[in-house]
Amino acid sequence: MKRYSFKTLGGEHTLPIEVSGARQYIKFKKAYRDAKLALFETSDEKIQKGIEESDLFKAGRIKLVFSDQNGQVKKTKKGKEGEPVNSNEGEPKEYPEVSTFQQAKDVLSGEPYDIPATSPDVSTPEKIFAKAAELGVSFPNLKKED
């Protein structure tokens, strides 16, 4: 599985990518609410090849965030603007740009966690920290309110 990022002005973005000689539209979904970064994941090697051979990828507008090839997760860049830092599977995924509980809640309610924003699991700061810990997610710049 590979995850790619694409900087946007906000929201989701659909990009035309040539895959096996045919144009395919790839939908990048925003990393969390108010994010200016959209993410796309795929295990399909033909789509991966199409993305990596595209002009947008070669120009650096689409970036490979991480790759899980043969069970090995390899860090490809430091996380920023919604990109988790993944060095090894099972280690916490860090979101250093998250500094408010609303942003943390938005991350947890987005992909790949998909916790409903109205869930009691993310209704208070304490529950957000607990759910994040359970999922192996870290918000290093989010401080508990005193």
Confidence check: pLDDT of 146 > 60: no
Residues 72 and 131 placed together within one structural domain of the fold: no
Supply φ then ψ for residue 52, to 5 degrees. Answer: -70, -15
85 domain-assigned? no
27 domain-assigned? yes
Write down which residue in 78, 107, 132 finishes a domain.
78
Task: Tell me if 13 sits within 8 A of 25, measured CB to CB.
Answer: no
Instruction: Please give the residue that has the higher pLDDT: either 21 or 121.
Output: 21
Q: How many CB atoms lie within 10 A of CB 40?
A: 23
In the chain, the number of structural domains is 2
Show the domain range for 105.
92-146
Q: What is the pLDDT of residue 98?
A: 85
Mean pLDDT of 93-110: 84
Q: What is the pLDDT of residues 46-83, one digit of tens each?
A: 999 999 999 999 988 888 877 776 544 454 444 444 44
